[in-house]
Amino acid sequence: MIEIKNLKKYYGDNNSIKAVDDVSFVCPDGKITGLLGPNGAGKTTTLRMISGLIKPMAGTVIVDSHDVTRDPRAVRQALGVQADMNGVYPRLTPREQFRYYGRFYGLKGKELENRIDAIIAELNMEEIAERRAEGFSRGQRQKIVLGRALVHNPPNIIMDEPTNGLDVMAVRDTRNSIRALRDQGRCVLFSTHYMDEAERLCDNIAIIVGGKIVASGAPTELMARTGKDNLEDAFVALAGQVGLERSEYGRMQNHT
Amino acid sequence: MFNNIFNIWQKELLDIVRDGKGLRQTLVVPLVLGIFYAVLNPLLGSLVESRQEGTLVLPVQGLEYAGQEFIDTFAQFDIELEPFEGDLEATITSAEEAAGLIFTPGFGENVADEQEATLIVRTNSTSGGLFGGGLSLNRLELALNAYNQRITTQRLTERNIDLSVLAPVTLDAQDLASPAQRAGAAASFFLPILVAISAVQGGMFIAIDVTAGEKERGTLESLLVTPSSDTEIFVGKLASVFTVTAIPIVLTLLGFWGASSLLPESMTEGAGALPLSVIAQAILVSLPLALFANVILMVISIRTKTFKDAQSALTPVMFGVMFTAIAAAFVPPTGASLAYLIPVYGTSAVVGTLTLGGIIPANAVLFSVIGNVLATVVGVILAMQIFNRERLLYSM
């Protein structure tokens, strides 16, 4: 389980840019939680603070009872992160990449190889597992990135816009993988700006706009709360004035 | 801790071995460079020698006034005087010829009559390139001196004056340099520069690949979210860069030594190759330099975003190291100087002295090692300031 409380991160002169402003939400085990927001809303910054890449100015992140500020190593051990910059090593095979990452988590020998075999089977990578990643399609590379995040069998998974730039089949594969992770009882937190994706996949959604959580709950709850019959309309209604003021467009208007 | 460092080291080496370009730069280029320098060294010597020993044909105007004695003296120096028609000065100015002589009418007769005799000598030291005009002129000067001396001797003899009045001091000069020292004379200039270049060039590709390359590929963030610490990541990467740098240094020096050993005696004048012990010591004192160079390369590369950016940013490092090594060759430290502490400079001076077979001051090796190690420690501290997760991410 991931618990985020009053998380803050400001940038710029006199902390004028509020990238993440007092964000709180909970991601339970066995559920998919979506962090939904437009570009520049603060999704990536929030996820980076959860994974310990960025230090929060204030607030706490607790992952399975470990505080990311006090015990970042334990948090990383409990997390599988599919990062925003999701590149692969072109000269290594997927199996070698999984082995490289698995060793960071203390896996070795037969245990590591068994785990790699399981990941390869789970992500249907048998045909490409022993080939160097140079020239792989985006979908195939995405599988490597996901496999690296899962190699140590973490109870919590974070994914930053996992379907961004993928073709239809790869998007479908990725969404199926996310569902499978949830069905295995893991806590899955992923960010997206695709409304239909959030509506289809998420058990819970936290809508973030201009660094603030403006609403959270199950997709059906959010739609009921706003009286809309789809998440996109509900999002627009909930983001509303706050969204306009705190969006990149709104910030530009305030400066002019 | 060591598991993570070892894991990173192992992965980076596998990565570089799989990369043809990186492997070429790491293994093949240094080996070729070492052999190239080893061959170039005596080759230049042979070139100089052939210029010094071959027949020199000198264009002359007014050769009929020269007199047989002049022609005979020049023939002893293998200088052939050839009559020239046309504008001799223009020919020499345009560097078509390195030198030419113009005898004024009655030159030979005036010399015989002990009258004033004028010989016009025109030269162009740039003719024939580096090993052309300069060398020809040296021989011309020697021949002219010999002719002067011959005439002077004749005149003194005719007057019954003892020839020793012309040479109040008898010189007994002898070059006591051993063949090995003579072999090292040129190498003492080339080898330190070669080592310095290898220290930078050898690790450059991988230093960029493990820093800016990670950013460009988009793999850095995935690495930073693993439980490994910043220090483990940096040290693991540094270890791989150092390994890949140490190999070319060894290869360059062994290539140099191997090629020198195989060269025919005619090229090395019997001096032979440098002793292997000198090469081994040069390798040992060069490794701390390599470590220092690696840290500098990594500190600079970390701050860049792409491979190309890093390559541009590292070019001045190559020149800086090269110039420092050249400075050590021209202005080496004297005695047990603290100057040996200066990174690159100290090592280059030690390698140069070793190559020359000279006596190294007791503290020189120690100072050069300490200098590089201290500089490495400072570099690592600096790198760790930069190599923290947040800074790295926001420099992407």
**SS3 per residue for chain B:** CHHHHHHHHHHHHHHHHHCHHHHHHHHHHHHHHHHHHHHHHHHHHHHHHHHHHCCEEEEEECHHHCCHHHHHHHHHCCEEEEECCCCHHHHHHCCCCCEEEEECCCHHHHHHCCCCCCEEEEECCCCCCCCCHHHHHHHHHHHHHHHHHHHHHHHHHHCCCCHHHHCCCCCCCCCCCCHHHHHHHHHHHHHHHHHHHHHHHHHHHHHHHCCHHHHHHCCHHHHHCCCCCHHHHHHHHHHHHHHHHHHHHHHHHHHHHHHHHHCCHHHHCCCCCCCHHHHHHHHHHHHHHHHHHHHHHHHHHHCCCCHHHHHHHHHHHHHHHHHHHHHHHHCCCCCCCHHHHCCCHHHHHHHHHHHHCCCCCCCHHHHHHHHHHHHHHHHHHHHHHHCCHHHHHHCC
Q: Kindly report the nearest CA distance between residue A105 and chain B, in angstroms.
A: 7
From chain B, the residues in CB contact with A87 under 8 A are: 217-219, 222
| A57 close contact with B: CB closer than 8 A | no
Question: Looking at residue A256, what is its pLDDT?
Answer: 43
Across the interface, do B227 and A77 touch by the CB < 8 Å criterion?
A: yes
Q: What is the pLDDT of residues B268-315, one digit of tens each?
A: 555 566 678 778 888 888 899 999 999 999 989 988 888 899 989 998
Which has more confidence, B262 or A244? B262
CATH at residue B101: 3.40.1710.10
- The answer to whether A201 and A34 are in contact (CB under 8 A) is yes
Average pLDDT on A227-231 reads 85
Of B142, B157, B172, the residue that ends a domain is: B157
- Are B66 and B12 in the same domain? no
B233 CB neighbours in chain A (<8 A) are: none
Inter-chain residue contact A100 with B7, CB threshold 8 Å? yes
A89 interaction partners in chain B (CB closer than 8 Å): 11, 15, 217, 219
Q: Do B217 and A90 count as a contact with CB atoms less than 8 A apart?
A: yes
Mean pLDDT, rounded, for A185-200: 88
| Cα–Cα distances in angstroms (integers) from residue B122 to residues A129, B74, B137, B141, in the given order | 77, 16, 10, 12
pLDDT score of A93: 96
Q: Flag whether residue A85 sits within 8 Å of chain B, measured between CB atoms.
A: yes
Same structural domain, B38 and B59: no
Q: What is the pLDDT of residue A77?
A: 92
> B236: distance to nearest CA of chain A, Å?
12
- Distance between start and end Cα atoms, chain B: 27
For the stretch A30-85, pLDDT in tens is 999 999 888 888 888 999 999 988 889 999 999 998 999 999 899 999 999 988 66
Average pLDDT over residues A155-183: 87
B123 with B270, same domain: the answer is no
Considering the domain boundaries, does residue B194 fall inside one?
Answer: yes
Q: How confident is the model at residue A255 (pLDDT cuts 50, 70, 90)?
A: very low
**Maximum mean pLDDT: which of A86-100, B86-100, B258-272:** A86-100
Contacts of B5 in chain A (CB under 8 A): none
Q: How far is A244 from chain B (nearest CA, A)?
A: 27
A187: pLDDT strictly greater than 90: yes
* Same structural domain, B80 and B150: yes
Residue B167 domain-assigned (yes or no)? no
User: CB–CB of A55 and B219 under 8 A?
Assistant: no
Residue ranges of A 103-132 with Cβ closer than 8 A to chain B: 103-106, 132
When the pLDDT of each residue in chain B is averaged and rounded to a whole number, the result is 82
Residue range B36-42: average pLDDT?
Answer: 69
pLDDT-derived band at B134 (thresholds 50, 70, 90) equals: low
| Among A102-106, A117-121, B367-371, B380-384, the least confident range | B380-384
**Together in a domain, B197 and B329:** yes
Which of the pair, B343 or B387, is modelled with greater confidence? B343
pTM of the model: 0.78
Does some domain include residue B177?
no
**pLDDT band, residue B18 (cuts 50/70/90):** confident
Percent of chain B residues topping a pLDDT of 90: 15
For the question of an ipTM over 0.95, the answer is no
Interval B355-381: pLDDT, tens: 776 667 778 888 888 999 999 999 888
Q: Choose the mutation target among A75, A89, A98 for the interface with B, i.e. most B CBs under 10 Å.
A: A89
Give B57 or A117, the one with higher predicted confidence.
A117
Read off the pLDDT of residues A1-26 as tens digits, 9 standing for 90 and up.
999 999 999 888 788 888 888 889 99
Interface of B with A (CB under 8 A): 3-4, 7, 11, 14-15, 18-19, 217-222, 224-229, 389-390, 393, 396
pLDDT confidence band for B9 (50 / 70 / 90): very high
Q: Check whether A230 has a pLDDT greater than 60.
A: yes
pLDDT at B52: 61
Nearest to B224 among A53, A86, A101 (CB): A53
B129 and B215, same domain (yes or no): no
Same domain, B240 and B381: yes
A185 and B CB contact within 8 Å: no
Statement to judge: residues B258 and B356 lie in one domain = yes
Considering B157, B192, B226, which residue would you say is the last residue of a domain? Answer: B157
Residue B215 buriedness (CB in 10 A; 0-12 / 13-18 / 19+): buried
Contacts of B219 in chain A (CB under 8 A): 85, 87-89
In a domain, B284, yes or no: yes
pLDDT, one tens digit per residue, over B86-124 is: 888 888 888 888 888 999 888 888 888 888 888 898 888
**B138 plus B119 within the same structural domain:** yes
CB contact under 8 Å between A104 and B389, yes or no, is no
Chain A residues touching residue B209 (CB < 8 angstroms) = none
Q: pLDDT band for B201, please (50, 70, 90 cuts).
A: confident
Q: Which residue in A227, A230, A188, A232 sits closest to A207, CA to CA?
A: A232
Residue B214: closest CA among B6, B7, B11: B11
Cβ-defined contact of A101 to B222 (cutoff 8 Å) = yes
Asked whether residue B175 is assigned to any structural domain, the reply reads no
- B237 CB neighbours in chain A (<8 A) are none
Cβ <8 Å between B218 and A85: yes
Q: Does some domain include residue B306?
A: yes
Average pLDDT, integer, range A109-115: 94
What does the pLDDT average to over B199-220? 88
**Residue B164 counted as domain residue:** no
Q: How far is B19 from chain A (nearest CA, A)?
A: 7
Asked if B114 and B94 sit in the same domain, the reply is yes
Candidate from A54, A132, A145 with C-beta closest to B390: A54
* Residue A88 confidence (pLDDT): 92
The yes-or-no verdict on residue A248 having pLDDT over 70 is no
Q: Are residues B32 and B11 in the same domain?
A: yes
Residue A249 has pLDDT above 60, yes or no: no
| Shared-domain flag, residues B37 and B56 | no
The domain boundary, picked from B157, B192, B223, lies at B157
Closest Cβ–Cβ partner in B19, B222, B389 for A145: B222
CA of A147, closest CA in chain B: separation in Å? 12
Task: State the total domains in chain B.
Answer: 2
* Domain boundaries, position B142: 52-157
Torsion B82-B86-B90-B95 (CA) sign: negative
CA distance B244 to chain A (A): 17
> What integer is the mean pLDDT of B161-166?
77
**For residue A109, which residues of chain B lie inside 8 Å, CB to CB?**
none
Partner-chain residue, chosen from B19, B225, B227, that has the shortest CB–CB distance to A83: B225
How large is the average pLDDT for residues B218-233? 89
CA of A215 vs chain B CAs: smallest distance (Å): 28
C-alpha B164: how far from chain center: 44
In a domain, B166, yes or no: no
